[in-house]
Structure 1
Amino acid sequence: MPDLDKRAELLRAVVGYLEDNGVSDLSLAPMAEALGTSKRMLLYYFGDRGALLSQALEAARPDAGQIFDGVTTDEQFVEAARTLWFAVSRGDQRRSATMMLQVLSLATTDPDTYGRYARTTVAVLLKPITEALVAVGYPRADAAARATLVVSGLRGLCQDRLVTSQRARVDAAAELVIAAAVAPGR
């Protein structure tokens, strides 16, 4: 019977390794060595390479649910979206967001390996943001489009910030995306 505490500790270490080393050239032997374990133990706790990758990516997915919980006004939505932007651009979810960007890019050329995770990541981010916008008063279809603007806009800006390191320009653009999400036009 697997030790669940050991498995959880190992999963956190795997996520950290992937955040530091990327996901595109994942090889279990070097990962195991870096983590002070064996390839056999990784396979024991997580199954094959694909299952390990899937579980690690799921554990590292940025979380928007808590941030948008209880939002019922445009002002609260703007504040929640700013909190999300801070979290993914330089806060506690920055490393997860960076790994998510890698996976979303890889999904375009290797959809068999990364496509399901990429689609799920987008859906998991869209759902709480859409629900918050519905609670604010937007019709569901409009809320979904506005949520897409926030998710895709901030994701693109996150990548821009990582590539260019131009924080002020990108932060200003994030404010424009957030404002556009609650702009009149209901």
Structure 2
Amino acid sequence: MARTADPGKREALLNDVVDYLEQHGIGEMSLAPMAQALGTSKRMLLYYFGDRAELLAQALEASRPQLGEMFAGVTSTDEFVAAARTLWRELTRGGERRNVRLLLQVLSLAITDPQTYGAAAQTSVEVMIDPIAATLTQLGYGVDDARARATLVVSGLRGLFQDSLVTEDRSRVDAAAALLIAAAVG
């Protein structure tokens, strides 16, 4: 009789996988060294996650910012700006910082290896745009306009985050983020 996967162990292992990928990168991800570093076996990684691609997809899902929660209940452009500023703080100084580092890796790898990383990259972008676009639609923007403005926020803040990682010029990048957020609803 097959054993049922322990959800608690699976969740703990998934958190460890996210930590490992954040430290070691995604490009050269190999299950055997990962398993050894995490104190488990390749067989257990496959048991809990199926295959390498599914493990990566689940790690990205687990590390994705919860934008639906950040933008829930927004009923005005001022509240939208406040939510977007909260998002920026979380991306640059809070708990979401490491998650965006993983996303940046996947997006970069998708450019040169779309067969392996393209679907994960596409999903990662869409799930960030969708809740922001939905909020903007509720604020009265047309569907296409709301998606364009959500793309400006998501892609713009992601690019600024990458700039801050490279240059460490926090004040300049924070000022640019404030301008971008204001422009999204201006």
Q: Which runs of 5+ in 1 are unaligned?
A: none
Structure-2 separation of matches of 1:172 and 1:116:
33
Could you say which residue in structure 1 is the equivalent of 2:134?
131
Give the aligned partner of residue 45 of structure 1: 48
**2 CA distance for matches of 1:41 and 1:178?**
44
- The equivalent position to 2:172 in structure 1, one of 163, 166, 169, is 169
Between the two proteins, the alignment pairs up a number of residues equal to 183
CA distance in 2, matches of 1:57, 1:181: 26
* TM-score, normalisation: structure 1: 0.95
* 1:97 alignment partner AA: V
Listed one character per residue, the Cα deviations across residues 88-127 of structure 1 (whole Å, up to 9, x for unaligned) are 1121100001110110111111111111111111111111
Match of 2:8 in 1: 5
**Cα drift, residue 75 of structure 1:** 0.2
In the other structure, the counterpart of 1:56 is 59
Residue identity in the other structure for 2:123:
T
1:53-92 correspondence runs (5 A):
53-92=56-95
Task: Return the offset for 1:62.
Answer: 2.0
- Are 2:19 and 1:16 equivalent residues in the alignment? yes
C-alpha separation in 2, matches of 1:8 and 1:61: 15
Q: CA deviation at 1:161?
A: 0.5
Whole-Å separation in 1 of the counterparts to 2:98 and 2:25: 10
* Partner Cα distance (1:52, 1:140) in 2: 33
Structure 2 counterpart of 1:126, which letter? I
**Cα offsets for 1:32-54 (capped at 9, x unmatched):** 11111111211121122122112
Contact 1:157 1:174 in 2 (8 A): yes
Number of the residue aligned with 1:110: 113
Give the whole-Å Cα distance in 1 for the aligned partners of 2:52 and 2:34: 11
The DSSP-based 3-state class of the residue aligned with 1:13 is helix
Q: Normalising to structure 2: TM-score of the pair?
A: 0.95
Distance 2:160 2:137 in 1: 25
Which residue number corresponds to residue 98 of structure 1? 101
Q: Secondary structure at the match of 1:91?
A: coil
Amino acid at match of 1:2: A
Structure 1 residue runs of 4 or more that deviate by more than 4 Å after TM superposition: none
